[in-house]
Structure 1
Amino acid sequence: MTRMIDIDPSESPRARFAYELRRHRLAARLTQKQLARRIGFSTSAVAMVETSKFRPSERFAELCDEAFGLDGVVTRLYAEVWPPPPPVPAHFRAWAVEERRATALRFWAPMLVPGMLQTENYARRVLSRLPGATEQEVEQRLSARMLRQAVLSRDDGPVITALIDEGVLHRPVGGPAVMREQLTHLVAMMRHPRVTVQIVPYGAEALSGLNGAYSIAEMRGNPYMVRVESQPWGRTLSERGLIADLVKGFDAIRADAYPQHLSIVMIEETMRGEWT
């Protein structure tokens, strides 16, 4: 019998698929070579899927179900791990998928309210300022951004932690009415049981975050994917060393942030003093 490899299914969605595929193959008493012959793929392809080094196709999952005599078990797992991409720009699709799968999301936002917490009017203003964006493109992207926020209403939705620079509260995106609505929404979201928002004050150096915004996706306590914003488009990355550095940076920024109850006070004071 093939020896079970050392792979942690809680490390990431892809690792979970790899682990379950190998488990079902061993239960069916098949070697990698035998499975490969049955489904018409190479032995190396099966090996790479089982070591989480290669993303299979949906057809691969369907054929595995047939080979194992399972009623769609592997195919359903495939749909959970690699759901259809949401209607967002191509450069953002990989991250949008992770937002729907992650059990926790962390956002560092030095310039704008994170998209996951934006109101429709705030998001429309941000998207309308993209160079060359047509009205139709703005509305399409706006619809996709609002759709992303549906994870917040799911019973099994991710835990959200957002660190927002104080300057974001004063940046006049769309004018006083839009800002007032946005900050009111932000306070309301801070009362959500799975949402924590902390304001990083001007007085905090937060030097590790001055290079730009980024987001971290976690699966059961394990950070496994990051989104780094840059021009002209951001990047979605999975390099472990980079993820570790950004997690350390996030923790350093959070150490300088106000706790949530004081952050609410700051937001409400800004609304009354600046956006009324």
Structure 2
Amino acid sequence: MTKMIDIDPEESPRARFAYVLRHHRLAAKLTQKQLARRIGFSTSAVAMVETSKFRPSERFAELCDEVFGLEGVIARLYAEVWPPPPPVPAHFRDWAIEEQRATALRLWSPLLVPGLLQTEAFARRVFEREPGLTAEEIEARVTGRMQRRAILSRTDPPMIMCLIDEGVLHRPVGGAEVMREQLEYLLHMARHPRVTIQVVPYAAEALSGLIGAYAIAEMRGNAYTVRVEFQPRGRTITDRTTITEIINRYDAVRADAYPQHLSCKLIEEVVKQKWT
């Protein structure tokens, strides 16, 4: 007999899918082996989905609905948990999906304005400076980045808590006009009721936390995945120990950050003194 593993549906979207799948399987009085035979998948695949260790296919979800006699319940949940990502590079798709379904995102950006808060001109210049990209690839990536911002226009946008190093305000990405527009956009977004922007001053000494950009995705107060940026592609991480370490580093950096009202004042001063 397969050992029953408790799943907390509030832990993550994937855990919620696992919990609902198991609930309907048990309600149908089917074992994992019986369900696997009916949908044409292995018993181990069903077991791994039910323990939140494996991402199923959309067809898996549709077949489960057929077996359980449901009207698309599992398929709709699948679409919520794994929505189609915006047009982004393959290595970034997993994180782009997490951005769409997270209820909160904590961002730390020591070198550039984070992608979710970039203007089109700023993003285009960033991609123009990436070696090897064609004009078509640049435009595709700009489009994908702008589509990612759509989460802030939803009726239920995630909370965005963004830490930006003071040096980001002074780095001349694209020149004065691009930087002025970008910083003014940050000020605009800081007025959004779900967005907090804080600047980490040059004097900050939380040295271990200052190294490298990362983003933390939360679901109902629970941090469940992290995107860590490094050359050349970055990585999406779900290991609980690593996530805890990164949260601790984020908190150390935030402890040295200016509060939002002082951060906005600093951004305004930089715009007037350097980019006007």
Q: TM-score range by the shorter chain?
A: over 0.9
- Structure 1 residues 37-46 or 180-189, which shifts more? 37-46
Equivalence for 1:38: 38
CA distance in 2, matches of 1:14, 1:237: 14
Equivalence for 2:78: 78
Give the counterpart letter for 2:23 in structure 1: R
Structure 2 spans left out of the alignment, 5+ residues:
none
Q: Alpha-carbon deviations, 1:173-211, whole Å to 9, x = none?
A: 111111111110000000000000000001111212332
CA distance in 2, matches of 1:43, 1:123: 45
Cα distance, 1:57 vs. partner? 1.1
CA distance in 2, matches of 1:31, 1:168: 55
Summarize the alignment of residues 102-113 of structure 1 with structure 2, pairs less than 5 Å apart: 102-113=102-113
CA distance in 1, matches of 2:86, 2:143: 11
CA distance in 1, matches of 2:219, 2:84: 19
Equivalence for 1:188: 188
Summarize the alignment of residues 247-266 of structure 1 with structure 2, pairs less than 5 Å apart: 247-266=247-266
Q: Alpha-carbon deviations, 1:129-180, whole Å to 9, x = none?
A: 0012221111110000000000000011111000000000011111111111
Distance 1:169 1:255, change over 3 A: same
SS of 1:223's partner is strand
CA distance in 1, matches of 2:85, 2:179: 31
SS of 1:53's partner is coil
Cα distance, 1:40 vs. partner? 1.9
Give the counterpart letter for 1:161 in structure 2: M
Distance 1:70 1:2, change over 3 A: farther
Cα distance, 1:7 vs. partner? 0.8
TM-score (norm 2): 0.97
Give the counterpart letter for 2:22 in structure 1: R
- Structure 1 residues 59-68 or 77-86, which shifts more? 77-86
Summarize the alignment of residues 155-174 of structure 1 with structure 2, pairs less than 5 Å apart: 155-174=155-174
Equivalence for 2:246: 246
CA RMSD of aligned residues (A): 1.4
Structure 1 spans left out of the alignment, 5+ residues:
none
CA distance in 2, matches of 1:154, 1:111: 28
Give the counterpart letter for 2:24 in structure 1: H
Give the counterpart letter for 1:83 in structure 2: P
Give yes or no for the alignment of 1:23 onto 2:7: no
Cα distance, 1:2 vs. partner? 8.7
Question: Percent of aligned pairs with the same residue?
Answer: 73
Give the counterpart letter for 1:94 in structure 2: D
CA distance in 2, matches of 1:2, 1:65: 23
Task: Report the count of equivalent residues.
Answer: 276
TM-score (norm 1): 0.97
Cα distance, 1:3 vs. partner? 8.2
- Structure 1 residues 33-42 or 194-203, which shifts more? 33-42
Cα distance, 1:37 vs. partner? 2.0
